[in-house]
A = this chain, B = another copy of it.
Amino acid sequence: MTAAPRTPWTPPDTWARWRRGDGCAMCADSHLPENEHSFLAAELRRSYVRLPRNQYCRGWTIVALKRHANELFELAPAELAEFWQDVSDVARALQDIYQPAKLNYAIFGNRCPHLHCHLLVQTFADDPTAPIDFQAKTVLLPPTEYSAMIETLRARLQL
């Protein structure tokens, strides 16, 4: 086995700046109808819901906090509750649409600390022990398919 090439962490001074929200990539583009990585699917109370262009895992959806914060404990109790209610509502919609074996919910933020939760749809055909690897492969769809997915999601969210 060959070791995979190692990506270094963002240097501490830049990282500290991003954590303060200065130069944060997601503050700049989470609200845009489309950006390099994803499409805006919905605006909820505390979050923007985005559909990644890379649908390597069909149904992959991101719920990003509207304002800048890095860790859950930076949110006041009511804000924390409302953010997770948004995530929960999107999860229910994905459950209705895909009828998965299990949903996964993951906040990483190792490359951009802005709070955002990945929702991944696991099926009975998946390996339950396989780590979530966004770089595993890239599956791009025709533009009409993204639009259809967003429409279906919005309908389930009753938007």
* Interface residues in chain A, defined as those with a beta carbon under 8 Å from any beta carbon in chain B: 1-2, 6-10, 12, 15, 70-73, 75, 77, 80-81, 84-85, 87-89, 91-92, 95, 101-111, 113, 122-133, 135
Contact = CB atoms under 8 A, between A and B. Distances in A.
A9 B126 contact: yes
Given A1-B1, A9-B126, A110-B122, 7 more contacts: A9-B127, A10-B128, A71-B91, A77-B85, A80-B88, A104-B106, A108-B132
Copies of the polypeptide in the assembly: 2
B87 A77 contact: no
Nearest to A109: B102
Interface of A, helix, strand, loop or mixed by DSSP: loop
Given A9-B124, A9-B125, A12-B124, A73 B102 contact: no
7 contacts: A7-B128, A9-B123, A71-B92, A72-B105, A105-B106, A110-B128, A111-B129
